[in-house]
Amino acid sequence: MLEYKLYVNAILEVIEKIERSLNKLDKNDFINNQDIQDATLMRLQVIGENLKNIPFEVKKKNKDFKWRKFEKLRNIISHRYDAVDYNLIWSFIENNLIELKEGISKLI
């Protein structure tokens, strides 16, 4: 059961990469930089994949965390890549990345 902590650590590591790469950027910088967009989307996909691998029993014990919201983002990025709205991605990062980091950190 403790193997899920590998997924938790991977998620936290990727969140830190997103934070570092976007640290000195604003929304306009993000919208106009395709390399940063691509890196960020890939990192969000990695987060979603790792979230999917966390056992249901762990998720069930942490019902207050919005697992599905973060997993759905991965699905949108992976399966609807051509329809990704970078304004929404920026908003997600600004408004939800901290929530994700805090929720996942509680699992350690």
DSSP 64: T
Catalytically active residues, by annotation: 74
CA–CA dist 12, 23 (Å, integer): 16
Chain position carrying tokens 């990727």: 14
* Alpha helices in the chain, H assignment, sequence order: 4-22, 27-31, 34-52, 56-61, 67-79, 86-105
